[in-house]
Amino acid sequence: MKFHIPVKVFDEKDCVKKHSGELATFGKKALIVTGRNSARVNGSLDDVIEALKNENVEYLLFSDVEENPSVETVFAAAEKYRTECIDFVIGIGGGSPLDAAKAIALALKHPETDLAYLYDKERDPSALPVVCVPTTCGTGSEVTGVSVLTRHDKKTKISMVHKVYPDLALVDGKYLESAPQSLIVNTSVDALAHLYESVLNAKVNDYVRMTACAGLKCWAKTKDVLSGKRERSEEDNALLMRSSLFAGMSIAQSGTSLPHALSYALTYDLKMPHGKAVGCFLPGFLAAAPAEQRDELLKLAGFNDMDDFSAFISELFKDIEVPEEELHRAGELVSANRAKMESASFFVDDTVLDNILQSRGRFHNHGDGSMVDC
């Protein structure tokens, strides 16, 4: 068995300021990669800038990362800062800025990087050092080597083949304080999907089970916050971040499976938030898993059974509508990908895949059959 997490993690309040000295070990000039607004609102950008100034580290700021970052954005950043003698890259935000930061660090290290480079396993995978400061509780990108990028030429999202693990992750639940409930729900369901997909995976091992079970226990303590039964506390924010962190450790070993693969078409075509898109397929995926294993995993996350879980997800995402043709496209993309069809720990053929798409525990057909409510 193999367990590879080459990331130094600090998980505590005010860790960016407390461990500013760690940043100085990566060089004298940093490129900060983030989105347009949230890092300013939640205070994470100010904390990072203050930490850099305290250590006399220069910085440049690239704040044009969009949701579901494209390869074009990565190349635009690399071209803009290629001559700036950047020593390391700091990603601040959710999965989009963190994934973009990894790809930009690779592109800055190799001036010849182009689209083919990102998807050529034979090319040098080394990158500039990367520091990640997550501000959402879903991606776990701060402890994975994966960078998922939008490919407009293929109208979907595809991970680059090179693994770029962050060197340092600074995880602080306080950055969730200003996050809207919708963001907390979407990203937390993404973390839950990571936990379930990593265990119900052909590549699962005892280390994955260890981190996934720890993550599910953390996640269960916040379930009532997601459903709106109680207000979110400082402790909840820390637990939400920690469950995402454990989920990232889990998928770093075994990867994701069918719910994520199916979600990409919905994210691209319908501009649906990633967590919602994954949540559409998560109940059907669990329903297809071996009952004994599934029931144990449900209980770890605080659910009584499949009905309880399906009702919970349906209540969270009752406003989603997915056209039948979109479900068909999602299914076609995955059915054509042999590796994804074989990624689950249980047998999946086109019939099982269709059941996941059309699960009655998740989707409810309108009378005319034209739309599917999620």
Judged by phi (left if over 0) then psi (alpha if -120 to 50, else beta), residue 27 lies in left
Output the pLDDT for position 260: 96
0.85 exceeded by pTM: yes
Q: Identify the H or E element spanning 302.
A: none
Output the pLDDT for position 319: 72
d(CA 355, CA 338): 18
DSSP letter (8 states) at residue 351: H
Asked whether the beta carbons of 205 and 254 are under 8 A apart, the reply is yes
Output the pLDDT for position 64: 96
User: In the chain, which residues fall in CATH 3.40.50.1970?
Assistant: 8-175
- DSSP string for residues in 54-93: HTT-EEEEE--PPSS-BHHHHHHHHHHHTTS---EEEEEE
Output the pLDDT for position 320: 78
Output the pLDDT for position 63: 97
| Amino acid found at 283 | P
- 3-class DSSP state for residue 321? strand
Which residue stretches of the chain have pLDDT < 70? 360-374
The architecture in CATH of the region 180-373 reads Up-down Bundle (1.20)
User: In the chain, which residues fall in CATH 1.20.1090.10?
Assistant: 180-373
Fold of 8-175: Rossmann fold (3.40.50)
Residue whose entry in the numeric block shows the structure tokens 């919708």:
182
Rg (CA), the chain: 20
* 200-248 per-position pLDDT tens digit: 999 999 999 999 999 999 999 999 999 999 999 999 999 999 999 999 9
Judged by phi (left if over 0) then psi (alpha if -120 to 50, else beta), residue 68 lies in left
Asked whether the beta carbons of 273 and 320 are under 8 A apart, the reply is no
| Amino acid found at 67 | E
* 74-133 per-position pLDDT tens digit: 999 999 999 999 999 999 999 999 999 999 999 999 999 999 999 999 999 999 999 999
Dihedral through CA 366, CA 361, CA 329, CA 157, nearest 10?
130
- Which of 247, 100, 276, 265 has the alpha carbon at shortest distance from 183? 276
